[in-house]
A = this chain, B = another copy of it.
Amino acid sequence: MTDTSTATRILLDSRPVGWPTPENFRIEEVALPELEAGQVRVRNEFLSVDPYMRGRMSDARSYVAPYALGAQITGGAIGRVVASRVDGMPEGSVVLHQHGWSDVVQGDAATFRIVPDIPGLPLSVRLHVLGMTGMTAYVGLTRIAALREGETVFISGAAGAVGTAAGQIARHLGAGRVIGSAGTPEKVALLTQKYGYDAGFDYHDGDVRELLAQAAPEGIDVFFDNVGGDHLQAALASFRDGGRAALCGAISSYNTTDRAAGPDNMANLITRGLTLRGFTLGDHLDLSAEFQQRMTGWFEDGGIVYDETIVDGIENTVQAFLDMMRGGNIGKMLVRI
């Protein structure tokens, strides 16, 4: 039995300017206080490292508050209850929470949510395809971009955690043709071999506009964007009339200090009647039950596959985050405690 009276956790030590470095973070071991009534203590099994966390490390207006300097990095994680002072959340419960980058966390039971074990699947899927990542893909394709059967979909950052889920969900929703971009030949190969994409390209192979035009000679109807920058410009050039974009991420600009100019073809929005809509999952949590039901159904039919890039040890969390920001993962990047 591991000792859980102390926690090893990761704090934000200074705000990154441009690309984050290990020096922006600090690791420390702390003794945990006694559990109070109503609280549980959880030993984490998996921590999530996500692109949106980069935004919270800066001190800018955003949809979630910035991380405080000197405070622990919070975010999605899953683990098991090891001590409980509350009814209804006994020791051994598998719980999902947002307490983040620490091997042991504790707090009010209301900040943890019990999730059912799924036979044959690791707990970690709750942090991606069956969690926020998968739901982000689902919300973007359904509510934001209003994908209709038979349409052509382009997904940027297609080999990432959101992108691999989005390609498969687009297929289940009846997309006619699904095209993805990724940053290495290995990732591009996975798109068609594993994730049900009809075509993929490596965005390093040339002008993204030309690469997309070759992959979708008849144009696209829906764009699910995880990248921004020249990918958005390419989509604007390839859109058919009435096209819709769900803007989910712009990882291409998260670590730039100068503001990138926007697409030079915004006028297409008018002439082709296009819609660009940005979103963050927090505004669409009313779709949770619908997502869980449909996604679980697709899973059980064997219709959802996924990759995980797993790094072991809380002490490697920062490196996992940095690697993920540079595209060093296939599928979901996770830290296993």
Contact B270 A280 (CB under 8 A): yes
Residues of B within 8 A of A272 (CB): 63, 278
A82 at the interface (CB under 8 A from B): no
Contact of A63 among B273, B275, B279 (CB under 8 A): B273
Contact B250 A266 (CB under 8 A): yes
- Interface 9-residue window, one of A72-80, A117-125, A241-249: A241-249
Contact B232 A271 (CB under 8 A): no
Interface size range on A against B:
35 or more
In the complex, A280 Cα to B268 Cα: how many Å? 11
A286 at the interface (CB under 8 A from B): no
Contact A278 B273 (CB under 8 A): yes
A261 at the interface (CB under 8 A from B): yes
| Copies of the polypeptide in the assembly | 2
In the complex, A264 Cα to B260 Cα: how many Å? 5
Chain A 24-45 interface 0/1 with B at a Cβ cutoff of 8 Å (1 = within) = 0000000000000000000000
Contact A241 B63 (CB under 8 A): yes
A228 at the interface (CB under 8 A from B): yes
In the complex, A242 Cα to B63 Cα: how many Å? 11
Residues of B within 8 A of A266 (CB): 228, 232, 247, 250, 262-263
A274 at the interface (CB under 8 A from B): yes
* Residues A212-267 near B (CB distance < 8 A): 228, 232-233, 241-242, 247-250, 253, 259-267
A115 at the interface (CB under 8 A from B): no
Contact B269 A277 (CB under 8 A): yes
Of the A-B pairs whose beta carbons lie under 8 Å apart in the complex, a sample of 9, sorted by A's number, is A63-B271, A63-B272, A248-B270, A263-B266, A268-B278, A270-B280, A271-B280, A273-B283, A275-B275
